[in-house]
Amino acid sequence: MTVRRILTVDSDMTTLKQVSAPAAAVDDGLRRLMDDMLETMYAAPGIGLAAIQIGEPVRVIVMDLAKKGEPPAPRFFVNPEIVSASEETGPWEEGCLSVPDIYEDVERPIQVRLRYLDYNGAVVEEDADELYAVCIQHEMDHLNGVLFIDHLSRLKRERAVAKVKKAARADA
């Protein structure tokens, strides 16, 4: 397994805006990608990662919502779809490894029903709420080239990108 570089909005916006293509099959090559994504996510650290964040435009997501002190609970999503979403929405403070050190409230459906293929290619259908619902919607946005800052006002979005660019310049 390899920790890969996570693309960020200061230098890799064009790639992050790409719409990812469905995975053709859940095979050893795709599992290797998922393993690299998980290791990259844990190293960051983060609770979710979409393949496009390491430059791979394929509809794959990894996630681990285990709290500190709990055993690891990796989850893998291939070609996920939202089957249905609650009418009710609610705010949640989000962050993104591709928009480092920016945290803002985003309003989304509070409950969603998902269908996806797991690490072994089995079809799974399940309900998500709370942080799970927030995170899977955030990650599925990435598959469509959408970032959480795209849900903010233009002013807040432009300020966020400017802040990330400034921090990147200071780092260099």
64 binds ligand GNR (CB under 6 A): no
**Could you say which of 16, 41, 63, 96 contacts Ni ion (CB under 5 A)?**
96
Q: Is 107 a catalytic residue?
A: no
If 0-12 CB within 10 Å is exposed, 13-18 middle and 19+ buried, where does residue 168 land?
middle
Distance CA 11, CA 100 (A): 12
The first and second tokens of residue 9, run together, are 């909005």
- Would you tell me how many other CB atoms lie within 10 Å of the CB of residue 32? 12
Applying CB under 5 A, the span of 60-68, 94-102, 116-124, 150-158 interacting with Ni ion comes to 94-102
- 95: contact with ligand GNR by CB under 6 A: yes
Asked if 135 is part of the footprint of ligand GNR (rule: CB under 6 A), the reply reads yes
Q: Which residues contact 111 (CB under 8 A, 6 or more apart)?
A: 85, 86, 88, 127, 128, 129, 133
Q: Tell which one of 37, 102, 139, 160 touches ligand GNR (CB under 6 A).
A: 139
Specify the residue, 46 or 109, whose C-beta has the smaller distance to ligand GNR: 46
**Residues at the contact surface with ligand GNR, assessed by CB under 6 A:** 46-50, 53, 94-98, 134-135, 138-139, 142
Catalytic residues: 139
